[in-house]
Amino acid sequence: MADIEHLKSLQAVRERANQVLEAATRNELNHFSYHPKKMDEVAEYVAGIINRDFGPSSFDKIPPHGRWQHFEIGAIPRVDQLIQGWQEGGCDKVEITRRLIDLFFVAVLLDAGAGDFWQFTEPGTGNKYGRSEGIAVAALYMFKAGAFSSGLGDKETVDGQGLVTLDIETFRKNFQITPDNEIIGDVSRVSLLNNVGQSFLNLPEIFGSTGRPGKLVDYILEHRDGKTELHYEVLWGTLQKALLPAWPKNRTQVAGVPIGDAWPLEILAKLNKGKTSENNTSNIQPFHKLTQWLAYSLSVPFVRVLGLEWTNMELGTGLPEYRNGGLFVDKGVLVLRDHVLKEGQANSKQETPSFDATSDVIVEWRAMTVALLDKLHGTVSDRFAQQGVKITMAQMLEAGTWKGGRELAAKYRPSTKSSPIVIQGDGTLF
C-alpha cells in the first residue's frame, strides 16, 4: 500500500509532473509540443503583472492564493464585516477562525468552473458576479442564511448533518439558478457536499460529534510545534483523510482504494514501462487540485486571525487548472499537436477545442502545468530576489499566473473569456 499512500502525497504530484516535463524536453509528449524558449516571455509577463499591481512598495501585501480575496470582489470587505459581527457577538479569535474555516470549506468545494454565463446578483447592491468570485459571494450569502447548518448551533456555522441534508432545490434557490442562469454541475456539487458532510460525521476525532469543519482548527492547534508553528503536512493529511472518501465514485481507485484527483497518463505508462510496483501505479499522475486549493485557502485564517505560521508550505504545488494552464497555451509554451487540435475542435464544433476532464489530453496538459509553474516560479522568484523581495508559489499563483491566465482569456476570447482549451467537467474537479 506504500505506493498508494505516495500517490496521495504532495511530493508525488511534483515528482510525476517532472517526469512528464522531461519527456516534453525530448518532444515525446502525445498531445502537445513544448517550446521552452517561450518561458522567458511568460516570466516577463507574469512579473510585469505582479509589478503592475503591487510594485514598487506593496509586495508584502501580496496575499497567498486563497479564497479570502474572492469574497472581496467589488472592493467590499465582506469577510471583515463577518468578523466584526462575530466579535460584537462575543466570539473569540479561535471561534472566529472556526467559522472562517466553516465558510471557506464549503466555498472552496463549490468552486469548480461555473461556466461562461452563470452570475450571482448580490442582494442589496445589485452587483452581478460570475465565475469563482460569483461562487464565493453566493456561498457566503448561503452560509449567512444558515443553509449549511442543521440548526444545532449558530446558523452562521457548518456541520455534517447540515451538509448531508442539503438538497438541490435549496442550492438552486441560493445560487439563483434558473433556466436562464444555469451553472455547470449543480447536482454534482450538492452531491459532493452531501458526501463531505457524511465524511465529517465519520471522523469525530477531527471534526467533533457534529461533524463541524471548523473543528479542524482545534485539531491543527493540538498538533502544532511550539507556540506559533503549524505543520502544513498535518493539514494536508487531514484534508486527504476527510475528502478522499467523499469524491465522486468515478474517480481513480487503486486496489479498491480511492486516490482522488489522480489519473492514468499514457506518457507515464510509456516512460515507466517495465517498472513494477505493488499495485502498478507508475502510470498515474496525481494532482489533488481542489484539495490543494482548499489547503492554501484554509491556511490563511490561521495566519491572519491567530497570528500563526506554517512550516513546509512550499510542498504545495502550482494548481493545474484552466487559468494557470491556459497561460502556457496562450503564450505558446504548449501547443496542441495538429491532429489533437482537430479532434478537440470536432468535439466542441468551434474553433476553441474541448476535451473531457479525464481525457489523456487534459491530464497531460495538467501535468505540464504543474511542472511549468515550478520552473516559472524559479525564474520569477529570482527576478524579485534581486529587488530584495521574496515571492512564494502561493503568491505567484495569486498575483501572477492565475490573474494572467484570466486576462489573456479575456483578450483572446472576449465573448466567452474561456480557456484556450475547454474542459468538459461535472462541476467537482476544476
Residue 395 counted as domain residue = yes
pLDDT at residue 115, rounded to an integer: 72
| Per-residue pLDDT tens listing for the chain (430 residues) | 788 999 999 999 999 999 999 999 999 999 999 999 999 999 999 999 999 999 888 998 898 899 999 999 999 999 999 999 999 999 999 999 999 999 999 999 998 766 778 999 999 999 999 988 999 999 999 999 999 999 887 899 999 999 999 999 999 999 999 999 999 889 999 999 999 999 999 999 999 999 999 999 999 999 987 777 899 999 999 999 999 999 888 788 888 888 999 999 999 999 988 676 666 899 999 999 999 999 999 999 999 999 999 999 999 999 999 999 999 999 999 999 999 999 999 999 999 999 999 999 999 999 999 999 999 999 999 999 998 999 999 999 999 999 999 999 999 999 988 999 999 876 566 5
Residue partners of 15: CB distance under 8 A and separation at least 6: none
| Sequential DSSP letters for 114-129 | --SS-EEEPTTT--EE
pLDDT at residue 55, rounded to an integer: 85
- How far from 217 is each of 15, 94, 115, CA to CA, in Å? 30, 8, 33
- How far from 429 is each of 1, 138, 272, 288, CA to CA, in Å? 25, 19, 26, 9
CA–CA dist 261, 239 (Å, integer) = 13
Q: What is the pLDDT of residues 243-289, one digit of tens each?
A: 999 988 878 888 888 899 999 999 999 998 867 666 689 999 999 99
CA–CA dist 350, 152 (Å, integer) = 50
Identify the H or E element spanning 254: strand 253-254
CA–CA dist 395, 388 (Å, integer) = 15
pLDDT at residue 279, rounded to an integer: 67
pLDDT at residue 429, rounded to an integer: 62
Residue 374 counted as domain residue = yes
Residue 218 counted as domain residue = yes
* Burial label, 411 (beta-carbon count in 10 A; 0-12, 13-18, 19+): exposed
Residue 429 counted as domain residue = no
Do the Cβ atoms of 135 and 110 come closer than 8 Å? yes
**CB-based burial, 292-318: b 16+ in 10 Å, e otherwise:** bbbbbbbbbbbeebbebebeebebbbb
* Burial label, 347 (beta-carbon count in 10 A; 0-12, 13-18, 19+): middle
Do the Cβ atoms of 247 and 192 come closer than 8 Å? yes
Residue 430 counted as domain residue = no
**Which bin fits 212, alpha (ψ -120 to 50), beta or left (φ > 0)?**
beta
Helical packing angle, 131-144 and 93-109, nearest 10°: 130
Question: Residue 263 in 3-state DSSP?
Answer: strand
CA–CA dist 428, 223 (Å, integer) = 30
Find out whether the peptide bond into 56 is cis, omega within 30 degrees of 0: yes
CA–CA dist 407, 33 (Å, integer) = 24
Do the Cβ atoms of 161 and 211 come closer than 8 Å? yes
**Which bin fits 184, alpha (ψ -120 to 50), beta or left (φ > 0)?**
beta
CA–CA dist 317, 314 (Å, integer) = 7
Cβ-based neighbour number of residue 386 at 10 Å: 7
CA quadruple 380, 386, 390, 395: dihedral sign: negative
Q: How many domains does the chain have?
A: 1
Q: Which domain holds residue 375?
A: 2-424
Residue 313 counted as domain residue = yes
* Burial label, 343 (beta-carbon count in 10 A; 0-12, 13-18, 19+): middle
Residue 205: all three cell numbers together = 476525532
Cell 472518501 -> residue: 245
Cβ-based neighbour number of residue 231 at 10 Å: 17
- How far from 401 is each of 112, 267, 389, 412, CA to CA, in Å? 18, 26, 18, 16
Q: What is the pLDDT of residues 410-424, one digit of tens each?
A: 999 999 889 999 998
pLDDT at residue 430, rounded to an integer: 53
Residue 420 counted as domain residue = yes
pLDDT at residue 255, rounded to an integer: 87
Residue 55 counted as domain residue = yes
- How far from 373 is each of 1, 12, 35, 423, CA to CA, in Å? 30, 16, 14, 19
Residue 235: all three cell numbers together = 493539514
